[in-house]
Chains A and B, each alone.
Chain A
C-alpha cells in the first residue's frame, strides 16, 4: 500500500543508517587489552574528596596517597606489625619515652626536583597539626596542638629531627601513627609557593601533588579517573608500570564485564556472587587480605529496653553467624566477634557466640520481656549490609523481637547515628593505623557521655557509659611493654564481649580480581599498603 511505502522507507533508511554505523564501528580492531605499560583499575572512588595528606582520610585517598607520598616509616606489607624504614633510616626513643628522634636518608628528591630534607618533614608534620583537619587527631592525640607544635617538632640537623609527646606512650603506637597518610612528607618549597591567604597551600594541594613517592599524581577528574605516573626522581626502585589509571566504575557487574573483557586489569569492588562466578575464569585471578575493617550492629543505650544487660546479651545469641559466614559474606569477610581485627597486637580470636534462640528467649524473659518487643534498625541500602540485616530480622523474630528496618542512604543513616537517634545501627569501622589503640579508642573509650561531648566515639554514639573501661584503654595506650600491652587488650576485649551493646559480626577481607597476566599484586591490610608500583604485567 502506497501510504505505507513512505513509512517503510523511512524506517528502512533509519535502520540502514544505524546498521552502517555499527558495521563501521565493528570494523574497529577491538583489541581489548590495556596498554602494556599502564595498569588500569576499576574502582568506585567517589569517596575521594582531597589529595592533600593533611586533609585526606577516605579509603581511596589512602591508597592513592600511599602509592605517591613517602613517610618516615612504613608498615611491612607482608606483616603490618613490622616497621620498615622509608624516609627515616634510623629512629630511636628517649629513656623517658617522650622524645622520638629520626635520621633521614640522604639524597632524596621530590618529584619537583627539590631536595628532601628534615625541614620538609618538620614542615609536613607541623602543617598537619596547624591545619587541624579531620586526620590531624592521629598526631594531636600525642599532645601536639597549634600552640606547641613548633617547639615539639624540631629540626636538629639537615637530615635529623625530633618529636616530643606529652606522655610516655607505647612506642609502637607512635611509630604506627607516623606511618599514616597524615604524616606524609610534602614538598615545602612547592607547597608554600602556592599558598593563598595563609592556607599553607591547602587549596592548591587538594587537587595537586607535591610528594616524593614512586608514583606521582598526574590528574584527578572527579568521579571519572585518577591518573598516576612513574616518578623518575624516586630514590628507591622505580615503579614497574609507567602509568596507573583508576577508572571510577560504581556498578559491580560493570566492573566484572570490564575485567572479563580485559578493558581493565584489576577490579576492586566485586560482590561475593561476582567473585564466585569469576573463580572459574582462567584469565582472572583473585587475591584477598583481611583488613582492619570490622562490621557490627550496636544497640543504643538510650533505649531503656536495649540498656538491660540481659537484652544486650540476648541479641548476641540471636545471630546466625555460621549461615551468614557461609553465604552472605563468603570471600569478602570472616566471622569475627571482637572489636580488634585479626593482625593487630592483642587481637582476640574468641568466638563464644552462636545462634541459640532458646538461650536468648530465657535471657529476654529474665529481663522482663518474655514475648519480645519492637525495635527499629537504621540500615544502609548496600550489600552485604542489607542481606545481613534481613537475616538478623528473621532470627530476632524467632525470639519475639520485631525489628523494623528503616532503609536509607549511607550518609542519611550516619547522620542519624551521630545524633544518637537510632535504636539499632548496623555499620562498620576501619582502622586508621595499624595499632590496637585505633579501635580501642572508639569502641572501648567514652570520656564524656554527655550530649555535647568533645569527641564522639562509637561508644558515645550508643550512649555506653564506661568510665572503668575508658581508664583501662588509656592505660593500654601508655603500656610500653608489648606483651603486657597485648594482655591488657585481651582483657578489654573479654569484658567488651560480655557487656558491650555491640554485636560484632565479621572482619572484612579486601578482595581484588585481576587479569592473570599480572604478578606482584597484594592488597594491603590498610588502604595505604596496596602497592601498585610493584605490579608487573607480562
Chain B
C-alpha cells in the first residue's frame, strides 16, 4: 500500500480533514468490495460514455428516416429495427441517453433534498410545524400532476426542461413522508439526546444527525423512482410538456411505440429495455452507496 493509503487509513488521524478523508476512503473500499455496486457504477459510467460519444458511434442520424423503411424488424442493418418514421432505433437510443439521464438526474437532485428537508423538519419539530408541513405535503400529493403540466405549458411553453420542474415539484412528497416516518422513530434515540445535551440547536441536530439516518432509504426510493420519472415525463409529453418530436428521448419513444405493441414490439421494447438497464444500474449503485454510507450496515 502506498504512503498515501497508509496516511488515509491511519488509526490516529492528526486532523479533522484526515479523519474525514480516511472515512471516505474506507467507505470507497467497502463499496469497491461490493461487486454488484461496482457493476452498477460501471453501467452508469458506460451510459455516460455512450451519452457523450453518441454523435460519433451511432450508426445512423437519429432524426432522419424514410417512410418506406418504417417498422422494420431488428436485422443486421438495424440492430434494434426501425420506428414508425423509418429511423434507426439504436441510434435514437444512443442520442437519447444524454437527454434521459439529464432529466432523471435533475429531478432526483431537485426533489430528494426538498423532501428530506421537509420530512425531517416535520418529524423532528412535531406539533404545529408537523401538522402544517404534512398538510402541505398532502396538498402536493393530491394535486393532479397533469394540471400542473398544462399550467406550465401555458406559462413557460413546451419542452422537456419545464417537464423537469413540473415533475420535481410533484415528486418530493413521498420522500418527505418516508423521511418523517424514520425521523419519528429515531428522534428519541440516545445519541440525539446526547447531542442535545451538548447544546446543539434543532437545526444542527436535524441537519447533521437526523438527516444522514434517513438518507439511505431515500436513496433507495430515488433509484427506484428513476424509471418512473422517465415514464412520467413520457406521459406529460402528451400535453406538450415533454420531449418535442423528433427528439429521441426514451420516454417519448416508448409512448410512440404504444400503438405498435402487439405486432411491432421492438419499437417500445428497445427503449423499455434501455430504461430497465438504467434503472438496474442506478439501483445497484444506490444500494452500494446505501451500504457504504451506513456504518451499521457494513459487515
Contact = CB atoms under 8 A, between A and B. Distances in A.
Direct A–B contact in the complex, CB atoms closer than 8 angstroms: yes
A95 to B, nearest CB: 57
- Of B71, B84, B263, which is in contact with the most chain A CB atoms at under 10 Å from its CB? B84
Interface string B60-74: 000111111011000
A323 B237 contact: no
B216 interface: no
Contacts of A271: 259
B158 A407 contact: yes
Interface stretch (A217-225, A303-311, A380-388, A469-477): A380-388
Interface string B230-274: 000000011110101110000000001001111110000000000
Interface string A369-406: 00000000001010100110111011000000000111
Given A387-B84, A412-B150, A273 B263 contact: yes
Contacts of B84: 328, 387
A394 B63 CA distance: 8
Interface string B202-243: 000000000000000000000000000000000001111010
B85 interface: yes
Contact of A327 (B67, B153, B158, B261): B67
B244 A277 contact: no
A320 B240 contact: no
Label chain B's interface by main secondary structure.
loop
A230 interface: no
A389 B84 CA distance: 12
Contacts of A407: 158, 237-240, 242, 244-245
A408 B245 contact: no
B244 A323 contact: no
B65 A394 contact: yes
Contacts, number: 75
A330 to B, nearest CB: 11
A406 B64 CA distance: 19
Contact of A386 (B70, B71, B239, B245): B245
A379 B238 CA distance: 10
Contacts of A495: none
A323 B67 contact: yes
B67 A409 contact: no
Contacts of A383: 259
A327 B65 CA distance: 13
Nearest to A413: B240
B262 A390 contact: no
Given A407-B158, A408-B158, A412-B150, A381 B238 contact: yes
A409 B149 CA distance: 12
10 contacts: A253-B262, A277-B263, A328-B67, A381-B238, A390-B85, A393-B246, A394-B64, A405-B245, A406-B244, A409-B238
Interface of A: 252-253, 256, 271, 273-274, 277, 320, 323-324, 326-328, 379, 381, 383, 386-387, 389-391, 393-394, 404-409, 412
Given A323-B66, A383-B259, A408-B239, 19 more contacts: A253-B261, A253-B262, A273-B260, A273-B262, A323-B67, A326-B67, A327-B67, A327-B68, A390-B85, A390-B246, A394-B63, A405-B244, A406-B240, A406-B244, A407-B242, A408-B158, A409-B238, A409-B239, A412-B153
Q: Which 4 A-B pairs have the closest CB atoms?
A: A323-B67, A408-B240, A381-B238, A405-B245
